[in-house]
Amino acid sequence: MYKVLIRPLRIEDSDISYIWRNDPEIWRYTGSSPDCLITKEIEREWVRKVLNEQDSYRFAITVDDQYVGNIQVTDVIEGTKGQYHIFIGVKSFWAKGIASQATAQIIRFAKEKLKLQELYLSVNPNHSIAIKLYEKNGFIKVNNELQMNLYLKNSNRPLLSVCVITYNHEQFIAQSFEGILMQKTNFDFEIVVGEDCSKDNTRKIVLEYANEYPGKFKLILHKHNNGAIANQIAVLQSCSGKYVSICEGDDYWTDPYKLQKQIIFLEANPNYGLVHTDFDELRVENNKIVKSIIKSLNPKKEWQEGQEFVKWYVGGYTKIITCTVCFRKSVFDSFIDYNEFHNPLFNKMGDIQLFCTIGGNSKVKYFEESTCIKRVLKESASHSENYLKKVDFITSISNAFEYYGKKFQVPEKYYKRYNKRVSINLIKTAITRQNYPLLMHGLEFKNVKYNYVQRLLFFLEFFLYKVQFIRSAVNFLLIKIKRILL
């Protein structure tokens, strides 16, 4: 497996490519073999010339960051068609699947960025390896000379889509992209990014990466902020892969074989809908990494039935984080109800809906090794120093667990277990703070359906408020009595 990318061709690449020009074996089946010695200076001038052409787009192929060949679309007729070319100059990478992955990326570039309808090429009829490569990527024979065409609307979809949801992640998004781009696979994958009109430089960084790695990124650049749920739905609906993996813009992958291992398993086990792994947490506030979060829970490694997975998940016996998952999109598309993402009782997040929907309708596999870092920020959608926000988010989780517990007919004691556990933590916080934020917030139970966690906290605060009021009244009376007696 390799990390295969294409990037814009650079003039300094000629310091390597001129060597390839003088190797007759590389040009055995082409009609463009040089008829004289190509020096470094001649190659440099040629590269400088073609980079200025207005109707061609030329890229370098890199394997694990090593420059190994060229790929390009030339003679481009805007909005119509262009001619495809490729060669691998480092012969040790021949027949390794490198050309196929690079071709998939330039096809996506021609389709998504250039908006072309067709690519065409000419190939020596005796070059059987190249013909198989082109056919694998959707080209069809037009005549025996041999010309081949690809109508881009019929181009292959990637095996996998990586879903990235980002908003105000200027400090983190580059690390997130690097963790995705370092993946070593034997298959093609796209990166679908939903940039939700950030107020910082997140969009600028997203565009820089898309320009540096053409054909790898599919961008959804919202014109105004739609919110996390709407952004997530837009990205999921734009994923064209057979499988989907998720890495939110403030998390990052640490295992370069994460995708390869997960796809190997899913391809071999069609009755599984989702795989996930352990993860580490980076506590940003003190820059501390906590290793293997799930391992400490001692979870089951897999669940044979959907109901059993939901039972253990909503009961808090195991944990799944979005940056660890890879799932089968056909299962998601078959069973997902997008209205559940907008349910006002639990619309503070979108991962529980996804995990319960897929896990409740297929088998789930857990890999024990940690593959990524979940960054825990002081302030984020799921973490906050604000007590009211914290209560709202936990209440949303509790409501979601109850909803899916009932939907998949899980015994009540499982989804109530989470309520009891978080209630204790919130009660401790409420007693410590002694400022009764929920009471001061003025909850109106008649207008809003709150679960019993919030109700319990409300009445606890009301009780503490009364106790403090009585204590204050007694102290006031004692002071008055002392003054009278003195």
Determine which helix (DSSP H) or strand (DSSP E) holds 283, and give its type and residue range.
strand 272-283
How much is the average pLDDT of 215-243? 96
pLDDT at 209: 98
pLDDT at 442: 42
448 shares a domain with 327: no
Determine which helix (DSSP H) or strand (DSSP E) holds 121, and give its type and residue range.
strand 118-122
270 shares a domain with 412: no
Say if residue 373's pLDDT is above 80.
yes
pLDDT at 117: 97
Given pLDDT bands bounded at 50, 70 and 90, which one contains residue 416? confident
402 shares a domain with 367: no
Q: Say whether 373 sits in a helix, a strand or coil.
A: strand
Say if residue 36's pLDDT is above 70.
yes
pLDDT at 452: 54
* Alpha carbon separation from 25 to 132, 134, 317 (Å, rounded): 19, 20, 60
Contact (CB, 8 A) for 218 and 194: no
How much is the average pLDDT of 467-478? 54
How many independent structural domains does the chain possess?
Answer: 3
224 shares a domain with 342: yes
Structure tokens at 56: 């061609």
How much is the average pLDDT of 373-383? 73
Q: Is residue 317 classed exposed, middle or buried when 0-12, 13-18 and 19+ CB atoms within 10 A define those classes?
A: middle
Structure tokens at 313: 């998940």
pLDDT at 34: 72
Q: Residue 210 domain-assigned?
A: yes
Q: Which of 128, 154, 180 delimits the end of a domain?
A: 154
pLDDT at 379: 60
Structure tokens at 277: 């792994």
Q: What percent of the chain has pLDDT over 90?
A: 66
Contacts of 176 (CB under 8 A, 6+ apart): 164, 166, 169, 247, 248, 249, 250, 251, 252
Contact (CB, 8 A) for 247 and 255: no
DSSP 181: H
Structure tokens at 412: 């009540």
Structure tokens at 405: 């517990």
In this predicted model, what pLDDT tens digit does every residue of 417-447 receive, in sequence order? 877 766 655 555 555 554 444 444 444 333 3
431 shares a domain with 312: no
Q: Name the least confident of 78-92, 200-214, 462-476.
A: 462-476
pLDDT at 436: 41
Q: Residue 22 domain-assigned?
A: yes
Q: Residue 472 domain-assigned?
A: no
Q: Residue 485 domain-assigned?
A: no
Say if residue 388's pLDDT is above 80.
no
Say if residue 468's pLDDT is above 70.
no
How much is the average pLDDT of 166-171? 96
pLDDT at 447: 38
Q: Residue 40 domain-assigned?
A: yes
Q: Residue 480 domain-assigned?
A: no
The alpha helices in 153-257, defined as continuous H runs, are 173-181, 202-212, 228-238
In this predicted model, what pLDDT tens digit does every residue of 97-155 receive, in sequence order? 999 999 999 999 999 999 999 999 999 998 999 999 999 999 999 987 789 999 999 99
Q: Residue 483 domain-assigned?
A: no
How much is the average pLDDT of 206-231? 96
Q: Name the least confident of 60-69, 128-137, 374-383, 464-473.
A: 464-473
32 shares a domain with 148: yes
pLDDT at 479: 54
Q: What is the mean pLDDT of the chain?
A: 86
Crossing angle of helices 387-407/412-433, nearest 10°?
A: 170
pLDDT at 289: 86
CATH number at residue 210: 3.90.550.10
198 shares a domain with 297: yes
Structure tokens at 263: 């796809």
Q: What percent of the chain has pLDDT over 70?
A: 82
CATH number at residue 143: 3.40.630.30
Neighbours of 302 (CB within 10 A): 15
Contacts of 170 (CB under 8 A, 6+ apart): 198, 200, 201, 202, 205
No. of H helices and E strands in the chain? 15, 17
Structure tokens at 233: 């739905």
C-alpha closest to that of 238 among 273, 194, 195: 194
State which residues form the domain around 461.
392-466
Q: Name the least confident of 61-65, 107-111, 291-295.
A: 291-295
Given pLDDT bands bounded at 50, 70 and 90, which one contains residue 383? low
Q: What is the pTM of this model?
A: 0.86
CA distance 177 to 98: 21
185 shares a domain with 243: yes
211 shares a domain with 346: yes
34 shares a domain with 14: yes
Say if residue 459's pLDDT is above 70.
no
DSSP 17: H
How much is the average pLDDT of 269-276? 95
356 shares a domain with 226: yes
Q: Residue 92 domain-assigned?
A: yes
CA distance 105 to 6: 7
184 shares a domain with 45: no
Say if residue 275's pLDDT is above 90.
yes
